[in-house]
Amino acid sequence: MSEAVTGSLREDVVARLRRSGCVFAEEEADLLLAATPDGAAREELVRRRVAGEPLEHLLGWAEFGDLRVAVRPGVFVPRRRTLLLARLAETALARAERTVHTRPVTVLEMCCGVGAITARLTARSAASPRAAASPPRLIAADIDPDAVACARLNAPDALVVEGDLFAALPADLAGTIDVVVANAPYVPTAAIGSMPPEARDHEHRVALDGGDDGLDVHRRIAAEVGPWLAPGGTVIVETSVRQAPTSAALFRAAGLHTRVVRDERVEGTAVVGRTRHRSTDGAAREHAAGPTTDSARREAGRPHDGAATGAA
């Protein structure tokens, strides 16, 4: 039943949230109280939040930069640090748009979760005259049906497929993907128990568990990505500062030129790997191992783009 939010109701909700350990109790109270006009439904949301469910699962949306993306209970809630991946994917997409002219530029968000990066790339395309004239082909893939359902809402123009890594993809994509971006699970199994309860108890295990050293899925991506990449293709994976050297070594062993990018603004870390570059005359040549141009330096997140610094 519709019920106005009085000052005393708000104070009561703030106090309950604060007692349960919410750091941003006022902001959360306002969001929960605004989520529905139904008094009983509101009380149920507050009760579940006090019991530890993630705010985003209760609201049905999460912020990812300046976008609001749909989430549902159980799925991984996009983290701010993953904005680094989105930025690197945008840069790699823009570079591919400058060099690929005979087919649509193709970007795959592997392990897409709710498809937050693909949603950002879609928004970017809508705002770019170049992309509007020749839109990139956006594909997103995940093994979790709940995540796939959200990704289809968040990126309605993308092809969103469900399945185990590359087995989910249509075979005719082989050799055509210019950018693969993946925030795959990378938490070591033994560390899951010490994650915050909101993640540990409310996000699907498949979204978190990266195996013994956390890098099982990275290992598989590195081993399987080659045949899917177009010449000059880029692979971008999120990792942690501690795991970055091993992640990078996996992609280097798979024949990619790799570098580690760290962005302190969002506390994100990524490994960027490049295949051999195909120049406009069609000849394959090695891409320089380190950034040599302004755009490469920007991609590497070196001092050229402000606060970000290259970690390796």
Ligand X SMILES: C[S@@+](CC[C@H](N)C(=O)[O-])C[C@H]1O[C@@H](n2cnc3c(N)ncnc32)[C@H](O)[C@@H]1O
- Based on CB atoms, which residue is closest to ligand X, 26 or 216? 216
Strand order, beta sheet including 159-162: 159-162, 137-142, 106-110, 177-182, 229-239, 268-274, 257-263, 309-310
Chain centroid offset of residue 80 CA = 9
Q: How many residues does the chain have?
A: 312
Interface pick for ligand X out of 169, 217, 221, 229 (rule CB under 6 A):
217
Site for ligand X in 111-130 (CB under 6 A): 111-114, 116
Size of the site for ligand X (CB under 6 A): 21
Nearest to 203 by CA among 273, 113, 139: 113
Distance of alpha carbon 115 from alpha carbon 146, whole angstroms: 11
- Min dist CB 113 to ligand X, Å, is 2
If one asks whether residue 222 binds ligand X (CB under 6 A), the answer comes out as no
Pairing of strands 177-182, 229-239: parallel
- Based on CB atoms, which residue is closest to ligand X, 208 or 296? 208
Cβ burial of 242 (10 Å; 0-12, 13-18, 19+) is: exposed
Distance of alpha carbon 306 from alpha carbon 242, whole angstroms: 23
If one asks whether residue 82 binds ligand X (CB under 6 A), the answer comes out as yes
Would you tell me how many other CB atoms lie within 10 Å of the CB of residue 64? 23
Instruction: Give the range of 41-49, 53-61, 179-187, 276-284 binding ligand X by CB under 6 A.
Output: 179-187
Site for ligand X in 283-302 (CB under 6 A): none
Distance of alpha carbon 106 from alpha carbon 293, whole angstroms: 23
If one asks whether residue 54 binds ligand X (CB under 6 A), the answer comes out as no
- Based on CB atoms, which residue is closest to ligand X, 14 or 90? 90
Site for ligand X in 128-167 (CB under 6 A): 141-144, 147, 164-165
* Three-state SS at 36: coil
- Min dist CB 263 to ligand X, Å, is 15
- Min dist CB 149 to ligand X, Å, is 12
If one asks whether residue 207 binds ligand X (CB under 6 A), the answer comes out as yes
Site of interaction with ligand X (CB under 6 A)? 76, 78, 82, 111-114, 116, 141-144, 147, 164-165, 183-185, 206-207, 217
